Structure 1
Amino acid sequence: MDVDPSDVLDLVCVGFGPANIALAVALDELWPAARVKFLERSSVTHWQPGMLLDGADIQNSPIRDLVTPRNPRSRYTFTNYLHENGRLFKHLNLPSHFPLRKEFARYIQWVAEQVPADVEYDRDVDGVSVVRTSGGQRLVESRTADGRVCHARSIVVAPGRTANIPPVFRHLDTPSVFHTSTYLNGIAGLDHDYTGTIAVVGASQSSAEVVLDLVGRLPKAKIVNVMSGYGYRLKDTSPFSEEVYFPEFVSYYFNASPEGKQRLRDQLRPTNYSSADRDVIDALYMRIHEDELDGRSRLTMRTNRRIDGARVDGDRVVLEMVEQITGEHDALPVDRLILATGYRDLGVHEREEQLPPLLADLAGILRVDDQLGLSVAFDYRVEAASSARGIPPIYINGLCETTHGLGDAGSFSLLALRSKEIVQSVRRALTADAGTLVDHSYALAVPAGSTR
């Protein structure tokens, strides 16, 4: 095919959420000469718009922002955002270790507006392929839903995580059932006097936050929290466990055997999954206690429940449940069903997907590991299948918890360092003179045996 060389980019980046905004900052500071375009499906930059709840915080230090771990002197730090917006001393005076989620969302939007990135909004990329030009050059071709085509020598995909919808709920085609990622939109039509029954399925931070929000927002509604365990568990915030968010842990985890990786995941799961922070758990427990004192029954906990069936019955959804200790069966009809069931990661097991849907057209040329799913190198470059040598560099920015550990589990902790790793790798791949590379003082630790 004929492609005008002047139209070929060095890099096309799909998505402009936190991961690729951090990448845009790294490109601006480390490789400003690169020709890069970002394609974003939304019309504006936003972060977790469905969960910007009153009083909810970000659960991690704001120093672990889009850039500070890589370059503390950057103008794109959270601290500089506060300074430039006249909010630094207000923030320093807050009686909390962590910023409100609403404020961090504004910081992310501010960076997106400040960084000199070429971003095209309302560009929903629905396909990625590898093409060969008439001159023999292989390029990445990205196609948008409106028919536009973009060619580049490499690509970074940051599509975000796919909401996990357990199989028992997948056939429910009704707006009354929705995931917490769209929570605020899903309840937008309910007024203060709403008296229906709302079920929240899950026992995570998100489910606890949603339950608390519903009780305050809809005081006349009946809220039922359904979970498979005995009750909410405290998140493991031991400083020893929190070292999983150190860059050294990425190397340690990456080099572990498949059995070692599984052992680490089993040990460290409570640092991020099926658990909640103490302040949220305490607030929820106190709310239940106060309702009992006042003779109200707004909030009911259905614990140790396995949901075996879910069906639409008129305007309601009926959950068929089994109490896993007593074996008792019960049915719960609800008017709204909110799924706090987490997100899918790359992999081959339940709650995982073999590769991001966006890369489905490349399934035949990308290497897939039988145990881990899509094969991703230490520098986040996707490895090619043995029969597909010489394909352009393809990178995954995020979603790599299975290969790189919990730092890639939707956390901000390693965004800045991951961005540097990707920028340096892309530049090595596309630039003949490796001596022009930037300082490595903030680079991730290189694992033994790495082919970086």
Structure 2
Amino acid sequence: MTNNTYDIIGIGIGPFNLGLAALCEPVEQIKALFLDQKSQFHWHPGLLLENTSLQVPFLADLVTMADPCSKFSFLNYLKAQSRLYNFYFLEKLHTSRREYNHYCQWVAEQLPSCRFGERVEAISWEENRQDFAVKTQRKDGTNFTYYCRNLVLGVGSVPHIPACFQDVPSEQIFHSSEFLHKRDRTRQSQSITVIGSGQSAAEVFYEMLQAQETYGYRLNWHTRSQGFFQMEYSKLGLEHYSPDYIHYFHSLPQEKRDRLLPGQGFLHEGISLSTIANIYDLLYERSVGGNYPEVQLLSAIEVKEVEKAGNGYRLVYRHLQQNQPYTHETDCIILATGYQDKISDSIANISHLIQWDEQKRYIVNIGYNLALTQGIPNQIFVQSGEFHTHGIGSSDLGLGAYRNSVIINTLVGRTVYPVQQRNVFQQFGIIA
């Protein structure tokens, strides 16, 4: 194997591919490389607000659920940072988003297999070599080509912008993923509207609510959801985020999976109980003496039209229950409207090798490898884009180490990281 040929190349370095890099590091049979156009690891930098926590326990780090003894564990990170006793006395199962991001940066800095500042331009299949060719452009403008037996696509998701906002470009309309970068400018508005009802929407709204008395703006929180609800967080409910449920869900026909997913929003959408409590407590405190804050919370309304109105915007909604129109004017709009999977442009030259379903989605096998149209011995694994085949746990950080264990075991043809068959108390489906 030449210096520029690898067993596997990862496209994108988010938490999942970073975890794969960490778990591959001690495996001598795997020569791996991971590429990302960013200058360093950053995980949702526009939403790294103070006092915001991951919605999974610290055990859902990059490696622990596969190898608790790994030197890349979160606990070893705390030890290296001389903060282990601080965390011990903190007595919290969940860590902050800011600390999780710093932990991932700490891991990335130790892995020579992770190369930042290198953009993947195109991937092609080299029939003569029986390899994939990965063409990149480095930050200095030079180009380079790597070769690999296998690929793992980890480009992640991109912010979802509803269609009615896409033709209204403005610095005062932006996705919540940019919030920290634009927060100071936002505070100068007279009226701010947050759209969405998930965790990001709640965190942005709470941040703006805390600063409202200082800056004096009107604050609105609108959503097409039926209300501002807590995400399901019961212990048996959480068992849906397990390898057991992945196997059950994947065993169903695709049409049944597609019918099942919309009804599972309570398992992966919504707001944490602590965030809801913080918002309500602050609203209550501000209302003492009958001085209700200039705040509007309105649900079951969907934006239909957006137009410029003076220095701000006019939103035309339709109330989904009353079927009535509603017009609202505001200076600034923050879209906490979630994310959507993106098929990387870099795979255009190999898309003919990949099997696609009727909705132009990947067909993903249970082992996270794509179904390919030709019988090539090489494989393409995915770290995103399998929501429709593997279910609600596909983007859950707690299942990243499990998925990477499956990928590594497949690559070397033996069990490097044991994968248990039974992980939860309940049974999903009837076993014949």
The counterpart of 1:120, out of the listed 115, 126, 141, is 115
Conserved? CA contact 1:304–1:324, under 8 Å:
yes
Conserved? CA contact 2:189–2:332, under 8 Å:
no
Query: CA–CA distance in 1 between the matches of 2:2 and 2:420?
Result: 33
What do the CA deviations read for 1:231-276 (whole angstroms, capped 9, x no partner)?
2111111111111111111111111122442454244321111x11
Aligned counterpart, 1:252: 248
Aligned counterpart, 1:74: 70
Residues 116-265 of structure 1 aligned to structure 2 (within 5 Å)? 116-132=111-127, 136-145=128-137, 146=141, 147-190=143-186, 194-219=188-213, 220-265=216-261
Alpha carbons of structure 1 residues 324 and 34: separation in structure 2 relative to 1, 3 Å: closer
| Structure 1 residue 379, shift from structure 2 partner | 1.5
Query: CA–CA distance in 2 between the matches of 1:290 and 1:440?
Result: 51
1:402 and 2:394 are equivalent in the alignment? no
Query: CA–CA distance in 1 between the matches of 2:217 and 2:228?
Result: 22
Partner secondary structure for residue 373 of structure 1:
coil
Aligned counterpart, 1:361: 349
| Structure 1 residue 357, shift from structure 2 partner | 4.1
| Structure 1 residue 33, shift from structure 2 partner | 4.4
1:7 and 2:9 are equivalent in the alignment? no
Mean CA deviation greater in 400-409 or 138-147: 138-147
Letter of the 1:176 partner, please give it: Q
Question: Which consecutive residues of structure 2, in runs of 5 or more, have no partner in the other structure?
Answer: 424-432
Query: CA–CA distance in 2 between the matches of 1:144 and 1:313?
Result: 45
Query: CA–CA distance in 1 between the matches of 2:375 and 2:416?
Result: 30
Partner secondary structure for residue 365 of structure 2:
coil
What do the CA deviations read for 1:190-239 (whole angstroms, capped 9, x no partner)?
45xx2422111101111011100112235322221111134211111111
Alpha carbons of structure 1 residues 319 and 260: separation in structure 2 relative to 1, 3 Å: same
Aligned counterpart, 1:378: 366
Conserved? CA contact 2:226–2:299, under 8 Å:
yes
Aligned counterpart, 1:290: 285
The counterpart of 1:425, out of the listed 403, 410, 419, is 410
Question: Which consecutive residues of structure 1, in runs of 5 or more, have no partner in the other structure?
Answer: 346-352, 429-436, 447-452
Q: Calculate percent identity across the aligned residue pairs.
A: 23
The counterpart of 1:336, out of the listed 332, 335, 350, is 332
Query: CA–CA distance in 2 between the matches of 1:77 and 1:93?
Result: 19
Query: CA–CA distance in 1 between the matches of 2:186 and 2:21?
Result: 39
Residues 385-396 of structure 1 aligned to structure 2 (within 5 Å)? 385=373, 388-390=374-376, 392-396=378-382
Instruction: State the TM-score, normalizing by the size of structure 1.
Output: 0.85
Alpha carbons of structure 1 residues 43 and 440: separation in structure 2 relative to 1, 3 Å: closer
Letter of the 1:12 partner, please give it: I
Alpha carbons of structure 1 residues 171 and 131: separation in structure 2 relative to 1, 3 Å: farther
Letter of the 2:134 partner, please give it: S
Alpha carbons of structure 1 residues 144 and 186: separation in structure 2 relative to 1, 3 Å: farther
Conserved? CA contact 1:215–1:298, under 8 Å:
no
Query: CA–CA distance in 1 between the matches of 2:218 and 2:25?
Result: 50
Aligned counterpart, 1:98: 94
Letter of the 2:224 partner, please give it: S
Instruction: State the TM-score, normalizing by the size of structure 2.
Output: 0.89
Letter of the 1:415 partner, please give it: G
Aligned counterpart, 1:415: 400
Query: CA–CA distance in 2 between the matches of 1:397 and 1:33?
Result: 21
Alpha carbons of structure 1 residues 217 and 359: separation in structure 2 relative to 1, 3 Å: farther
Alpha carbons of structure 1 residues 217 and 139: separation in structure 2 relative to 1, 3 Å: farther
Alpha carbons of structure 1 residues 234 and 262: separation in structure 2 relative to 1, 3 Å: same
Alpha carbons of structure 1 residues 239 and 372: separation in structure 2 relative to 1, 3 Å: farther
Aligned counterpart, 2:82: 86
| Structure 1 residue 293, shift from structure 2 partner | 3.0
Alpha-carbon RMSD across the aligned residues, in angstroms, is 2.4
| Structure 1 residue 445, shift from structure 2 partner | 7.3
Alpha carbons of structure 1 residues 14 and 445: separation in structure 2 relative to 1, 3 Å: farther
Query: CA–CA distance in 1 between the matches of 2:264 and 2:326?
Result: 34
Aligned counterpart, 1:349: none
Query: CA–CA distance in 2 between the matches of 1:45 and 1:279?
Result: 28
Mean CA deviation greater in 136-145 or 173-182: 136-145
| Structure 1 residue 399, shift from structure 2 partner | 3.0
